[in-house]
Amino acid sequence: MTTIARPMLETYPAEINLDRDRLAVAIEALIACSQACTACADACLSEDMVAELTKCIRTDLDCADICATTARVLSRHTGYDANISRTLLEACVVACRSCGDECTSHADMHEHCRICAEACRICEHACRNLLAGMS
């Protein structure tokens, strides 16, 4: 799969205070997770038992928004503020864990929830990995 985050980071003309490989992996995972959560929420809305999926839809949408915002902030490096990036990454870890847990509870009945839970776990790991490399 061709991704854009890595080539864009390679062209950045100034120093970046983060490991570019970890950063690229995190940005790609955040974008993928946001998309998966948005699609999962929409799929939940199409299920016959939509009322029973209210919490899943809510956690999907929260996670999608948090991941999308974090990806955008991590894609900007001019005037970089580690405290903002760290706080957003920590919020992503919480949102991904919460959404992953909720989607896992529906994964036996809904394949879209299983896929979303997997994307959340991958994203949570990528965010933790980037956090571990921050000074």
In a domain, 6, yes or no: no
Task: Tell me how many domains the chain contains.
Answer: 1
Segment 13-65, tens digit of pLDDT? 888 888 999 999 999 999 999 999 999 999 999 999 999 999 999 999 999 99
Stretch 119-130: mean pLDDT, rounded? 98
Predicted TM-score (pTM) of this structure: 0.94
| Residue 67 lies in domain | 20-132
In a domain, 97, yes or no: yes
Calpha distance 35→118 (Å, rounded): 13
In a domain, 13, yes or no: no
Nearest to 67 by CA among 44, 96, 43: 96
Q: What is the CATH number of the domain that holds 37?
A: 1.20.1270.360
In a domain, 28, yes or no: yes
In a domain, 14, yes or no: no
Calpha distance 69→109 (Å, rounded): 30
């839809």: which residue's tokens? 57
